[in-house]
């Protein structure tokens, strides 16, 4: 998910995508971990659930966007 977002922001230069993806991925995981720890405060929610939900929503949006553009 993160490389797709970075590609939309910085363009097609792979050097920028690689660096941007590493930085944006670290920031995304940091905030996903914060969300996972605060949703169920006394318990820890697995971070994979949070990233899976966000990633699933993103890919549905990405697929719908691409299918609308092809019409």
pLDDT tens track for 19-57: 999 999 999 999 999 999 998 888 888 999 999 999 999
Higher pLDDT, 19 or 59: 19
Q: Are 58 and 1 spatial neighbours (Cβ–Cβ below 8 Å)?
A: yes
> CB neighbours of 10 closer than 8 A, spacing ≥ 6?
16, 17, 20
Three-state secondary structure call for residue 8: helix
**CB-CB contact of 34 with 54 (8 Å):** no
pLDDT of residue 40: 85
Token pair of 71 as six digits:
């019409």
Phi and psi of 27, rounded to 5°?
-65, -40
- Token pair belonging to 5: 């977002």
């Amino acid at each position: 998910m993160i490389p797709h977002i970075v590609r939309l922001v910085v363009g097609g230069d792979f050097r920028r995508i690689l660096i941007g993806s590493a930085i944006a991925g670290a920031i995304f995981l940091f905030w996903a971990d914060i969300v996972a720890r605060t949703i169920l405060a006394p318990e820890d929610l697995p971070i994979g659930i949070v990233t899976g939900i966000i990633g699933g929503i993103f890919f549905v949006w990405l697929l719908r966007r691409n299918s609308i553009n092809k019409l």
